[in-house]
Amino acid sequence: MTRSKPTSKAEPAVDPLARLLQAHPETAYDYLEFRRLMAGNAAALAAERATESDLARLAACMGAMEEAHAIDDHEQEAAADADFHLAIYEAAHNLVMTQVMHRIFDMLKGGVFYDRADLYRRRGVRDGFLRQHQAIWRAIADGNPEVARSMAEAHIGSIEEALREAQHADARRDVALRRRSGSDLVARARAGS
């Protein structure tokens, strides 16, 4: 008798929440609305509560993100981005928030909401995200909760804007491809006449 490989909780096949969210792509914006609420509060709490160990981890995450940015590695930069945000939630020292956000980030890493690496491939997005992460990091390191909150909320707003732009660009490309395919069909039909 062969045993099947255990599946990850983040896999949509076994996780009812992930399956529901994947079946409704518009939930990406619900996710971002939730993230905006959580990210701002977490950053403010981290600015107030972060220990030296938390700050060292955040600095390491920021360094990994900057390094990935410098070598133009989209996948690595997206992973470092997620690690940075998780480190902020952990630095907030709220166990419920940390556990909920770990679960949410598992789904995010699995592409349930949107393709993070794809956003990093878009022109101008990476540079803006890096500057935003640096501003969040500075506010937390400086112990400035209001600036940390404001920067984190603005960052989530930028993600939402980038996602909308990416979806519009993809839709325009799909229309152009369909038009081209249609014109090719018309040209082939005329040639066959």
Average pLDDT over residues 129-150: 98
pTM: 0.78
**Rounded-to-integer distance, Cα 109 and Cα 121, Å:** 16
Q: What is the pLDDT of residues 36-53, one digit of tens each?
A: 999 999 999 999 999 999
Pick the range with the lowest mean pLDDT from 25-29, 66-70, 101-105, 180-184: 180-184
**Residue scoring higher pLDDT (117 or 165):** 165
122: left (phi over 0), alpha (psi -120 to 50) or beta: beta
**Rounded-to-integer distance, Cα 186 and Cα 94, Å:** 62
Structure tokens at 176: 């152009």
Q: What is the pLDDT of residues 5-39, one digit of tens each?
A: 444 444 444 677 777 777 777 778 888 899 999 99
